Amino acid sequence: MPSISWWPRLRAASVHFVLSLLVAAAAAWLVFRVWYPAPYQVLAGGQGLFLLVVSVDVVLGPLLTLAVFNPAKGRRRLGGDLAVIGLVQAVALAYGLHTCFVARPVVLAFEGDRFRVVAAVEVLADELPKAAPPFRNLSIHGPELVGVRRATDVERYDAIMLATQGFDTGQRPTFWVDYAQFQPQAAALGRSLEAVLAQCPARREQILGAVRAAGLAEGAARALPLISRESDWSVLVDTSGRVAGFLPCDVFSVPRPEAARVR
């Protein structure tokens, strides 16, 4: 039995690995700079999803090359084998990127007393043509900030029925409006920084760092609950209700300010 020469195989697999890393780096730029800008790669689960898809793709291709590469096969046969591996790898990457794309965050919706990160796949797409003009196309460069109006008496039954099917009003484009009109309400409902620190004392430095990074004085920082794939975060607002960032603390169980009144 002829001996197996591992050096050509290892060299070919190494080249394939480097090329795969370059492709993965380009894909990472698309995912994390365009579809999931910070910190949405964490909030919307994009980081874990991308790493799972790409790590399999980057490892699989070079391993297959290591297994099949043999110069004795001849250029045509070897080229065919490598082309098949490249095609399989490209299809796997395309599928993974498509999955990341449909799961990308498109809206940060204020739902009366909390925020929700809404992914493209969670939107009731049939309502997009009937939405207000600014909201008829889903964003591809990070979520848009919207307010969510209340259902009218006529809409209430449909709203309840669609909610049972997994479509809350925050996921329905016909309910999206300009967030600016809800800023006073968000400010009134915001939990104080003191209450946030009491809720998450182990993350004190991270929380204070996020407040400083947002350019807010500690007395001007407020936090509101956030529904997202990564559940232990909240939305940072200032005393006017302007969204300023995010805090690594779940404030759902922190009582609302006594003076707050939901419209």
Indicate the helix (H) or strand (E) that contains 245: strand 243-247
How much is the pLDDT for 263? 44
Query: What is the rounded distance in angstroms from the CA atom of residue 232 to the CA atom of residue 224?
Result: 12
HSE at residue 175, side-chain half, CA atoms within 13 A, is 24
How much is the pLDDT for 261? 47
Predicted confidence (pLDDT) at residue 43 exceeds the cutoff of 60: yes
Amino acid identity, residue 122? E
Predicted confidence (pLDDT) at residue 203 exceeds the cutoff of 90: yes
Strand partners, 247: 234
Indicate the helix (H) or strand (E) that contains 70: none
pLDDT in tens, 229-254: 877 899 999 999 999 999 999 999 99
pLDDT in tens, 140-194: 999 999 999 999 999 999 999 999 998 999 999 999 999 999 999 999 999 999 9
pTM exceeding 0.95 = no
How much is the pLDDT for 260? 56
Strand partners, 148: 176
- Closest to 119 (Cα-Cα) out of 103, 135, 131, 137: 103
* C-alpha 131 chain-centroid distance: 23
Tokens representing 34? Answer: 């365009």
8 Å CB contact between 113 and 94:
no
pLDDT in tens, 73-106: 777 888 888 888 888 888 888 888 999 999 999 9
Q: Torsion-angle region of residue 257: left (phi > 0), alpha (psi -120 to 50) or beta?
A: beta
- Closest to 81 (Cα-Cα) out of 94, 66, 95: 66
Cα–Cα–Cα angle for 210, 211, 217, nearest 5°?
Answer: 165
Confidence grade of residue 258 (pLDDT, cut at 50, 70, 90): low
Confidence grade of residue 262 (pLDDT, cut at 50, 70, 90): very low
How much is the pLDDT for 184? 96
How much is the pLDDT for 10? 85
How much is the pLDDT for 12? 84
